[in-house]
């Protein structure tokens, strides 16, 4: 960080007066207040320290040289999915920069080498293996082994299908590219994957404060896209979608980037995929990196609406006020989700109380964590998590 940025950070921390618009849904409720909590870790921990305002105070204390840069402060600042819900209703000058404040502070912790063990592991694994779990690169495309129509990207293919880390390695996450690839093949869309050449997009690496590693990943990914002359990328992971769509542009020209739900929506609308029906009640959980980060709320809902027989029920907190599952900024890899009020459990309860039988997701991280939430809540058999592509596949004629 430059000296000027550090100074800006200090100013921002003094703009926060702790009104905590960052933890409760507020603006939308006019004229009928609800005051639902929207900050996942403030809700889990029930401690001022873990609210965005509390974390801003920790950073202020560091800048005032009262709070040392130590493991305690690191644990507080890293227990945050950076879901951006805190920015919804904050009207202060720093209101649109709360995530920037946390990222800037985390960069300082990376510089000092003071990081929680799992964060360190995450970053080292991405550095060495291109994914957070330290899995061999060769395993990246194992999900595609039994999926018809999946091949490596070749010049002339309309789309490069970029999968993402969780969706490549996690058994639950893997269901998304598998279903989506089958749908693409059915709709006769030409596409290919990178296979073992695919590496992490770095979205969460950047949010964890490892700017150097992020820039290295940007360079490698952009080179791959350039070498393969990719013109369009369809992305499974909303985390990667966010990085490609927004952050990568600061480093150069990018191919056209769309999320898989956007392409699915287009294919259904264009009659390339015919849906027969599904008799069930579905609620859609907005992933932060699609919703709050990219304002993409409608396409996934439109897809579900287009399935005959499906009843869509909204959870109380939806769209920009959706309650995060807790997995952002690498949290899907950490051990921060704990107790009855862990964000994934809270969200599952909310979906169940809304009367849904299926929680529709559009992110591998959300799928994994909400699935864990169902187990912890002992709701197996009563509600299940399915991604949009799986649901569409099931609803096909």
Partner 1 sequence: MEISFQKFETVGGRKVYVPSRHEKHNEILKELIKIVGEKFVSDDMATLYVYGAVPTEHDFYLPEMVVLPKTTEELSESIKIANKYKVPIQVVVSANNTGAVHHLLTGGILIDLRRMNRILEVNEDSMYTLIEPGVTWADLWRYLKDNHPDLRFSPIFSPPFASVMGNVILDGHNKYGLIYGSPYNHAISAEVVLPTGEIVYLGSRALTKYWGVRNPVPDLFGLFLGGWHGATGVVTKMAYRLCLKPKLEEEVIVEFNNARDAFNFARRLARSRVVDVIHMMDWRFLIIYMMKAAKVPPEKPPDMLELAADVVYSSVEGEDEEIKYKKKFTESLAQKYNAKSVKPLEEYGPEMYRVVSIPGQACMNPNGLGICFTGAGKGSGFSWVGGLGEDRFFEELYKGTVKIFDKYDKIFLQNFFQEKLWGHIGCFREIVSFDVCDPEQVEQVRKAHEEEVRLLLDHGYLPYKPPKFATDIIINEYMDKGFYQLMKKIREALDPNHIMAPGRWEL
Contact residues for partner 1, defined by CB under 8 A:
10-11, 14-21, 23-24, 26-27, 30-31, 33-37, 46-49, 54, 57-58, 60-62, 64-68, 70, 72-73, 76, 91-93, 95
CA distances from 19 to 24, 27, 73, 249, 356 (A): 10, 14, 22, 35, 34
The Cα–Cα gap between 185 and 153 comes to: 14
If the CB atoms of residues 109 and 289 are measured against partner 1, the closer one turns out to be 109
If the CB atoms of residues 29 and 190 are measured against partner 1, the closer one turns out to be 29
If the CB atoms of residues 47 and 276 are measured against partner 1, the closer one turns out to be 47
Min dist CB 391 to partner 1, Å, is 29
Min dist CB 11 to partner 1, Å, is 5
If the CB atoms of residues 16 and 359 are measured against partner 1, the closer one turns out to be 16
If the CB atoms of residues 256 and 340 are measured against partner 1, the closer one turns out to be 340
If the CB atoms of residues 219 and 340 are measured against partner 1, the closer one turns out to be 340
Min dist CB 14 to partner 1, Å, is 3
Question: Closest by alpha carbon to 164, among 150, 149, 174?
Answer: 174
Min dist CB 71 to partner 1, Å, is 9
Min dist CB 382 to partner 1, Å, is 21
Min dist CB 281 to partner 1, Å, is 20
């Amino acid at each position: 960080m430059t000296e000027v940025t550090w100074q800006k950070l200090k100013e921002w921390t003094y703009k926060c007066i702790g009104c905590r618009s960052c933890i409760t849904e507020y603006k939308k409720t006019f004229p009928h207040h609800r005051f639902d909590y929207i900050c996942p870790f403030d809700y889990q921990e029930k401690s001022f320290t873990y609210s965005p305002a509390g974390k801003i105070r920790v950073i202020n204390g560091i800048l005032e040289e009262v709070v040392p840069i130590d493991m305690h402060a690191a644990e507080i600042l890293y227990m945050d999915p950076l879901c951006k819900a805190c920015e919804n209703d904050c009207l202060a000058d720093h209101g649109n920069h709360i995530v920037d404040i946390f990222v800037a502070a985390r960069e300082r912790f990376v510089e000092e080498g003071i990081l929680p063990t799992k964060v360190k592991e995450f970053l080292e694994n991405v550095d060495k293996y291109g994914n957070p779990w330290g899995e061999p690169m060769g395993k990246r495309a194992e999900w595609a082994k039994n999926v018809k129509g999946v091949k490596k990207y070749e010049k002339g293919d309309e789309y490069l299908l970029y999968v993402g880390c969780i969706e490549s390695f996690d058994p639950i996450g893997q269901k998304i590219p598998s279903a989506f690839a089958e749908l693409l093949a059915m709709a006769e869309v030409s596409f290919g994957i990178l296979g073992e050449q695919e590496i992490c997009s770095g979205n969460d690496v950047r949010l964890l404060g490892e700017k150097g590693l992020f820039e290295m990943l940007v360079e490698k990914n952009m080179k791959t896209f350039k070498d393969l002359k990719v013109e369009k990328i369809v992305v499974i992971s909303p985390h990667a979608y966010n990085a490609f769509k927004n952050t990568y542009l600061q480093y150069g020209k990018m191919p056209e980037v769309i999320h898989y739900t956007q392409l699915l929506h287009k294919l259904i609308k264009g009659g390339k995929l015919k849906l027969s029906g599904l008799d069930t009640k579905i609620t859609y959980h907005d992933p932060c990196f699609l919703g709050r980060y990219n304002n993409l709320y409608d396409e996934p809902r439109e897809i579900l609406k287009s399935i005959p027989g499906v009843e869509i029920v909204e959870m109380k907190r939806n769209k920009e006020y959706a309650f995060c599952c807790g997995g952002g900024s690498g949290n899907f890899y950490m051990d921060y989700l704990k107790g009855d009020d862990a964000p994934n459990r809270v969200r599952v309860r909310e979906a169940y109380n809304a009367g849904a039988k299926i929680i529709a997701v559009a992110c591998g991280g959300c799928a994994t964590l909400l699935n864990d939430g169902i187990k912890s809540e002992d709701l197996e058999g009563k509600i299940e998590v399915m991604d949009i592509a799986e649901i569409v596949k099931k609803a096909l004629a």
